[in-house]
Amino acid sequence: MNSDNEKHALSPELEKDLPAPLADAIRRGSIPDELLKHSHDADEAMKAFADNQGQVIEIDEATNKRLLRRIDWNLMPIMCVVYGLNYLDKTTISYASVMGIQKDIGLHGSNYQWLGSMFYFGYIAAEYPTARLLQKLPLGKYSAFNIIMWGLTLACFAAVKNFAGAVAIRFFLGVFEAAVTPGFALFTSQWYTKKEQGTRVGIWFSFNGFAQIFGGLVAYGIARGTALHGSAIAPWKIVFLVTGLLTVAVGTIFLFIMPDNQLNARWLTKGDRLLAIERVRVNQQGIGNKHFKMYQLKEAFLDPLTWAFVFYALVADIPNGGISNFFSLLIKSFGYTSEQSLLYGTPGGVVEIVFLIVCGYLGDKLNNRLLVCTSGLITAMIGMILIVALPLSNNGGRLAGYYLTQASPTPFVALLSLVASNVAGYTKKTTVAALYLIGYCAGNIIGPQTFRPKDAPRYVPAEITIICCWGFCLLDILFIYYWCRRMNAKKAQIRAAPDYTKLENQEWLDLTDKENAEFVYTL
């Protein structure tokens, strides 16, 4: 603990926009005492280390590996299953589209396109409010509430009788699913070091691919079973009931397993909870702060990196919104039957899984997620070019092209992991995550509108739009790479200045990535 007479120099970069109570405490050299008085300025981790007199706990390699295994086994399985259901539940409408829903509830014209977009209207309406709630409320419990509610909402789709009812269900499904991706990004940055985050985000996001395989097989089984043996209700209603009630069950398990942070993880001893916090000190981000900070909100809106992330999410998800809602119809347009389109869509999930896991691992291994992830985008562009260029008679070639397009989520996931790794300050992080996903929603709203009924069966205008969007996204990734390298060089100059002083427990002060000269951006 520092005495009141000891002084700390503040570099102009570090002092900029610093809250007054925190700046005064730093100058007086009494940071731990002042942060306990003004606890909203510090991270939750500061409370855990309040009795340690500013000492850093050393963790040996064996202990670190033991903790990492325990964290992985308790967090990753449930996160993977939930994220798979997150994808399956919002794309169940695609399976239903070739199982009779359009005729049964009287869809015509552009009605189906608007059902595809309506999910994202709910998502975009809820994203910023839910980002604030993710910061304010217990992270694990609030996430579990949303999982259970979206499962119940999806199951209610089986009772829909007209377009208006379907629109309402899709909207509220988007409202409740809005919490999962930003929440999981926060969980990942909270529990894992920067070098571990890319791989973990790649793993749990890859369960979109597993969900595509699982969903296709389930829908195909239901379609075949009802065709052979009949059913009391329409096959598409069974699909919604099965997926919705499964989500409710998993959400209930999530409620009991997932902690809000290291401090209330029931599967860690009291000593291991402290070690689990200590091992992420290197991130320079802390584990959470429930106090809203206006200056961090302003910094998020003025940071060019924020808008580079948002641009990518917006432009990349125009293709995603079209493909994820129309993939069954797209495959059917290649010359396959409705049942075949359900079954033949599943290998696309394998492509997504392989690219996400391999690129996530290589990105962390080579310390360069940005350049590694471009391989997925280039592969997807080649796939869409095949779909456009090959004649309608070449069913196999166009289907192979569709499978290659399923590598396209690779950069989106890499950038999502970089929101976790490269944005510090809890208010700023939740704000950037919300803006990133608002861009994601806007792109997914636009995407289904590019697949116009009059362009069937080739959908050439939509496919050319997709290729152009991915080209712009490639340029955006290169800009982000350049910007992060430039910021790291500037921070290195600040740290090398003679008047620079690293503050005690600086990692737990809830400083933003711009404020904290010790913060290094991951590439």
Is residue 343 within 8 Å of residue 220, measured between CB atoms?
A: yes
* Domain membership flag for residue 76: yes
Report the pLDDT value the prediction gives residue 440, as an integer from 0 to 100. 86
Which CA distances in Å does 185 have to 2, 180, 345, 420, 434? 35, 9, 28, 6, 11
**Residues 69, 35 share a domain:** no
Q: How many CB atoms lie within 10 A of CB 98?
A: 21
* Domain membership flag for residue 338: yes
* Domain membership flag for residue 510: no
Report the pLDDT value the prediction gives residue 391, as an integer from 0 to 100. 82
C-alpha–C-alpha distance, residues 150 and 142, integer Å? 13
Is residue 91 within 8 Å of residue 215, measured between CB atoms?
A: yes
- The single-letter DSSP state of residue 56 is P
Cis peptide before 138 (omega within 30 of 0): no
**Residues 136, 94 share a domain:** yes
Which CA distances in Å does 84 have to 183, 213, 250, 380, 495? 15, 10, 11, 21, 43
**Residues 443, 301 share a domain:** yes
Q: Which residue has the tokens 């009772």?
A: 159
**Residues 340, 417 share a domain:** yes
Report the pLDDT value the prediction gives residue 36, as an integer from 0 to 100. 39
Report the pLDDT value the prediction gives residue 11, as an integer from 0 to 100. 47
- The single-letter DSSP state of residue 290 is -
**Residues 156, 26 share a domain:** no
Q: What angle do CA 252, 253, 256 make, to 5 degrees?
A: 95
**Residues 368, 257 share a domain:** yes
* Domain membership flag for residue 9: no
Q: What angle do CA 483, 132, 301 make, to 5 degrees?
A: 30
* Domain membership flag for residue 50: no
**Residues 169, 23 share a domain:** no
Q: How is residue 319 written in tokens?
A: 């293709």
Strands (E), 325-482: none
Q: Residue type at 89?
A: D
C-alpha–C-alpha distance, residues 264 and 272, integer Å? 11
What is the domain count for the chain?
Answer: 2
Report the pLDDT value the prediction gives residue 480, as an integer from 0 to 100. 95
* Domain membership flag for residue 503: no
Q: Which residue has the tokens 């990535």?
A: 513
* Domain membership flag for residue 288: no
**Residues 200, 69 share a domain:** yes
C-alpha–C-alpha distance, residues 507 and 512, integer Å? 10
CATH number of the structural domain spanning residue 245: 1.20.1250.20
Q: How many CB atoms lie within 10 A of CB 518?
A: 16
Q: How is residue 380 written in tokens?
A: 């997807």
Report the pLDDT value the prediction gives residue 326, as an integer from 0 to 100. 65
CA of residue 515 relative to chain centroid, distance: 25
Maximal CA-CA distance, the chain = 84
**Residues 355, 261 share a domain:** yes
Q: How is residue 499 written in tokens?
A: 């008047």
**Residues 143, 34 share a domain:** no
**Residues 320, 257 share a domain:** yes
Is residue 164 within 8 Å of residue 201, measured between CB atoms?
A: no
* Domain membership flag for residue 429: yes
Report the pLDDT value the prediction gives residue 345, as an integer from 0 to 100. 74
For 485, the domain range is 61-282+293-493
User: 10-residue block means of pLDDT along the chain (523 residues)?
Assistant: 41 48 49 42 58 62 90 94 86 75 77 80 89 88 94 90 89 91 89 88 87 79 76 80 92 93 87 84 69 86 94 90 68 72 77 89 89 93 88 82 89 89 86 89 82 71 87 95 92 83 70 84 88
Report the pLDDT value the prediction gives residue 29, as an integer from 0 to 100. 46
Is residue 510 within 8 Å of residue 38, measured between CB atoms?
A: no
Burial (Cβ within 10 Å: 0-12, 13-18, ≥19) of residue 89: buried
**Residues 305, 171 share a domain:** yes
Among residues 223, 200, 451, which one has the least CA distance to residue 340?
A: 223
Check the CA dihedral 385-389-392-396 and report its sign: negative
